[in-house]
Amino acid sequence: MTVATTVDMRGYPRGRPGPVSDGTAIEGPYRGHYRETYVFALPGGPLRCKVHEPRSELFRFDRTSFVSEDRLLLDLRGRVSRIPEITVLDEHVLLQGFIEGRTLGRSLAGTLSARHAGQLGQLFGELVALDAGSIGARRLHEPADPPADGDTGAFLGSLITFTEQQVYRLHQDRFGSLFHELGVRAEALDALRGRARAFTGRLFTLVHGDLHRLNFVVDAADDLWTIDWELAVVGDPLYDLATHLHLMRYSPQEAGRTARLWAGAVESVRPECARGWREDLGTLLAYKRVQSVYTDVIRGAIALEQPGAGPLLGRLPVTAHRVREVLSRARVPLGLDAVPSLRRVMGAYARWIQGPASGVSGSAS
């Protein structure tokens, strides 16, 4: 837990839920992919805040750009609507407000209401209004040869390189046999890199990078709030649309409606940021599908290794079904002639578990 983004949790009983000395209750942990979240009320008032604790036992599959999510949110205050408020206790300690409500993940409906669609469009427009020079929050060290502003092909190329080096090749020794049995090869990333070279240039903007159902909260007034900005980057604005469509699993009709919503919102603010979106969106979606295969294959293997999670034979079909689904969605960009059967996927995982496994754990970034 970093001082820059959270309050010190050492005063809490082992960092777990329960009361602290002043009677304040702590809720949590709420577990995400990369961190656990704890929620508590500030003494003497109704305001509730949240703090994050990194989950060191999991690999990190996505590139991060900003040193502190909270300082980025502080920088966005007044420029992006319906985001968590930041309380500054002192120059080193920031607290992020907790948004009361329900996430879209609890809704079975595949479509957004007209109100929420309008607020999503507003978010798209506000993000593209923030160009590369308007974000003051400190960033992590840039790569030696960062993409030039507007070079969308190089931006996608940098994401592909991260997935290739920090997800696939970094864990090749441990998971290589599993990838091989499932027909997953690095060549698919090379083909996508070639397609990226034909991209149309779009000026870079702030990109949330993780706009899925669990990162949208609906409050008591039926307003849509956007949370979890830890994967935000400055880059191709079309990447936000591709990520959103990939993660939301809309019907084809709803996906088309949302794409037009994005285009309309962007064109009304910075038309140059929507250039070539129809031609390039398919390649970005293909990258997201291939990226999901690499990450979900590894996540499935790690989940099966966890002790105390129930009988392995009961968990194997669930993992295999999930992995087969992402393989099916990525069949074309992966170059698969056919999607492996459920039985074949289960067998691949069973053989991997029975074979020698390294003791690698931790973060890939």
pLDDT tens for the chain, 365 residues long, are: 233 333 333 233 334 444 444 445 777 666 655 566 777 677 666 678 877 666 555 567 888 899 999 999 999 999 999 999 998 888 788 889 989 999 998 665 678 999 999 999 999 999 999 998 999 999 987 666 789 999 999 999 999 999 999 999 999 999 999 999 999 988 899 999 999 999 999 999 999 999 999 999 999 999 999 999 999 999 999 999 999 999 999 999 999 999 999 999 999 999 999 999 999 999 999 999 999 999 999 999 998 988 766 677 788 999 999 999 999 999 999 999 999 999 999 999 999 998 864 433 333 33
Of 234, 240, 272, the residue nearest 132 (C-alpha): 234
Residue 89: per-residue pLDDT: 82
Which residues are paired to 255 by β-bridges? none
Residue 110: per-residue pLDDT: 73
Residue 93: per-residue pLDDT: 82
Specify the length of the chain in residues.
365
d(CA 3, CA 89): 12
Residue 26: per-residue pLDDT: 76
Sole residue written with tokens 């140059």: 272
Residue 364: per-residue pLDDT: 35
Domains of the chain (ranges, CATH numbers): 101-356 (3.90.1200.10)
d(CA 175, CA 173): 6
Residue 28: per-residue pLDDT: 65
Residue 59: per-residue pLDDT: 67
Give the pLDDT confidence of 183-232 residue by residue, as tens digits: 998 889 999 999 999 999 999 999 999 999 999 999 999 999 999 999 99
Three-class secondary structure assignment of the chain:
CCCCCCCCCCCCHHHCCEECCCCCEEEEEEECCCEEEEEEECCCCCCEEEEEEECCCCCCCCCCCECCHHHHHHHHCCCCCCCCCEEECCCCCEEEECCCCEEHHHCCCCCCCHHHHHHHHHHHHHHHCCECCCCCCCECCCCCCCCCCCCHHHHHHHHHHHHHHHHHHCCHHHHHHHHHHHCCCCHHHHHHHHHHCCCCCCCCEEECCCCCHHHEEECCCCCEEECCCCCCEEECCHHHHHHHHHHHCCCHHHHHHHHHHHHHHHHHHCHHHHCCHHHHHHHHHHHHHHHHHHHHHHHHHHHHHCCCCCCHHHHHHHHHHHHHHHHHHCHHHHCCCCCCCHHHHHHHHHHHHHCCCCCCCCCCC
- Rounded (10°) CA dihedral 107, 228, 36, 94: -140
What is each CA distance from 88 to 38, 97, 103, 232, 282, in whole angstroms?
A: 18, 11, 26, 21, 42
